Chains A and B, each alone.
Chain A
Amino acid sequence: MSSLAKASSRAEEDEVEDLVARLAATEEALAEEVRRSRALNRIAEAIGAGHDAETLVQTVVDGGVELTGAQFGAFFYKVVDEVGESFMLYSLSGAPRSAFEAFPMPRSTAVFAPTFNGEGVVRSDDITQDPRHGRNPPHHGMPEGHLPVRSYLAVPVITRQGAVLGGLFFGHPQPARFGTRAESLAVGLAAQAAVAIESVRTHEAAHAELVQRRVAEERLKFALESGRLGSWELDVETRAYLASDICKANYGRGPDDDFGFADLVASVHPDDRQRMTTAIEDAIRHGADYDIEYRVCTPGGDVRWVQARGRAAQTADHGGARRMAGVSLDVTERKRAEERQKLLVNELNHRVKNTLVSVQSIASQTLRTTDTPAAFRDAFEGRIMALSHTHDLLTQQNWEGASLREIFDFELEAFAARDRIVFDYARDVQLSPKATVALGMAIHELATNALKYGALSVPGGAVGVAWGPEPEEGSDGARLRLTWTERGGPPVVPPSRHGFGARLLEKGLAGELSAQVALAYDSLGLVCTMRLPIRALEP
């Protein structure tokens, strides 16, 4: 082979080699293109598939890493809180999430600002050499332990309306890895991601609203049911009336009973009907609040109180109201409670007034039967305290009365000679409040008298209290016989002046309880015998 031929053959060989190399390069470029277009397809599919935001963003970041040839990729979404704007890591590719956990959220530093603010792409062959890098305390650059980023590409993700949703960040430990092609791919990806994220968010928001509405509706239904609130609606023109089951129940109707507007009006108590229809007309014509309480006659014959509230919805085009809606509530219990309370207040007032008259009476009579202010005060206070003790006892018993023994115990509680009063009875007797008050005062008078003038005024004296059924019935039925017998005291003589105690016992008690009361001034001691008709004592 000639040298020429040799030379020619070498040139051919070079050309072939060159061709092979170019072919390989083309093939590689083609393979790269195929890879990229597959990645793009995957992203497009993911966007189209309607995944949740997290899956979608993860696909975008993974695809972005593949498309740009990055080692790491991340999507940070923008959060605005009271501290200011910052980015929060959302999806990460090419590195474990723990690689970021130690660091605070990126702030709007010189490097990040263009991305945060949506100003444009930041692409650097070596971010560590970038003049914007390392200017902010405390880290002055990447915090220690940060992923080893030199090649850096950051693209803001912006909606069509110009709102910055976040940013796509790509990095590589080697310098100069991202060219213009990578940049334009990332920009395209960011635009697609923005549309997709927005659409997912809109969808999620709509779904959340729907769920919220359902929850609210359930809550309303629950509230209506647990509050026994009925709901109703009235067509103003046709007078078609629609009532919920509870609403019907408030008027004594079952869920399947017909209950129209005419039925409603007819069920209202005749005395309240005019008031009710006037209120409805007022609400329809003038937009007044409909809030009324009226009596209802149920088909079962009950009378109940119902509160109805509502409002007419005004329509501009119709020149008035078209429909009226509201709630109804059975307020019978409340009404009864109000009536009871009114009665109670009246009763209380009556009792207070009566008590004042009692005090007036005690004062007046004590004044008539005492000689000195000191004696008046002593007797008056004792009687007021006796009255007070009886009231305490009755209050403790809910004003239902008390037993005879309880009355004695209460009246004699602070009585020094209490242990010299000996009881003898087989069965305690329950008394009405009226009898309790009357006997309370009587016992006080007997005890005070015994202490001052009778058996309890000397050391050896004692009092026997006994009660039991009277052997012979009187004209007014069974009687209780109660005796107060004083022994061991000074000899007694009938008093020259008729005192308050004797008068209360012989006349007052006798009148009030239809009793027969006898005071015997026995030389051995005072004996008081009361014959009390049981029917006047019983609660």
Chain B
Amino acid sequence: MKTLAALKVLVVEDEALVSMLVEDMLSDLGCIVVGPAAELEEALRLASGADIDAALLDVNLGGRPIFPVADALKERGVPFAFASGYGEAGLSEGHKGATVLQKPFREADLRKVLEGLAAQIA
């Protein structure tokens, strides 16, 4: 169990305006932003090797689904949440039931999701 303070969060988001917003929110919450990664390759690299506690993933990365990144995080036991304009409908079969942050979201929504993720950290 961790707190949000100094929580290292990987952000994967391909739209500059959105990732800037998320960065601001995370900073306000006391988290440390890792990334943001706008491309799948970069995201995969960070997901498998970077020093991170949790991750926030945009479901669609320039037309490519994010799920390989989610799989890599699962492998490492890093808790993550999806951020999507599609809601839960945009998830693949393997990730149904995962935490989804519906876009647009408030800082309070992000805090709640992150607290949920932090609670999963041993």
Contacts and interface: CB of A to CB of B under 8 A. Distances in A.
A512 B38 CA distance: 6
Nearest to A351: B85
Interface in A332-382: 346, 349-354, 356-358, 360-362, 364-365, 368
A470 to B, nearest CB: 19
A528 interface: no
Interface stretch (B15-23, B67-75, B91-99, B112-120): B15-23
A358 B17 contact: yes
Given A357-B104, A358-B17, A365 B24 contact: yes
B53 interface: no
Interface residues of B, number: 23
Residue among A360, A434, A437, A438 with the highest chain B CB neighbour number at 10 A:
A360
Interface residues of A, number: 28
B18 A358 contact: yes
B36 interface: yes
Contacts of B102: 353
Nearest to A512: B16
Interface in B37-89: 37-39, 60, 62, 84-86, 89
Nearest to B13: A511
Interface of B is mostly: mixed
Contacts of B37: 511
B103 interface: yes
Contact of B20 (A346, A354, A365): A365
Contacts of B17: 357-358, 361-362, 441, 504, 508
Contacts of A352: 85
Nearest to B105: A357
Contact of A356 (B14, B36, B89, B103): B103
A354 B102 CA distance: 10
B19 A511 contact: yes
Given A360-B104, A365-B24, A514-B39, A354 B16 contact: no
A383 B87 CA distance: 27
Contacts of B103: 353-354, 356-357
Contact of B86 (A350, A364, A509): A350
B38 A357 contact: no
A356 B17 CA distance: 11
Given A350-B85, A511-B36, A504 B104 contact: no
B91 to A, nearest CB: 13
Given A346-B86, A360-B21, A504 B16 contact: yes
Interface string A501-522: 0011001110110100000000
Contacts of A349: 85-86
A364 B21 contact: yes
Contacts of A364: 21, 24
Contacts of A346: 86, 89
A434 B62 contact: yes
A508 B21 CA distance: 11
Nearest to B11: A511
A514 B21 contact: no
B21 A512 contact: no
Nearest to A508: B16
B104 A509 contact: no
A346 B60 CA distance: 13
Interface of A: 346, 349-354, 356-358, 360-362, 364-365, 368, 434, 437-438, 441, 503-504, 507-509, 511-512, 514
Given A361-B18, A365-B21, A437-B15, 10 more contacts: A346-B86, A353-B85, A354-B15, A364-B24, A438-B16, A441-B17, A507-B20, A511-B37, A511-B38, A512-B15
7 contacts: A346-B86, A346-B89, A361-B18, A368-B24, A434-B15, A504-B16, A507-B20
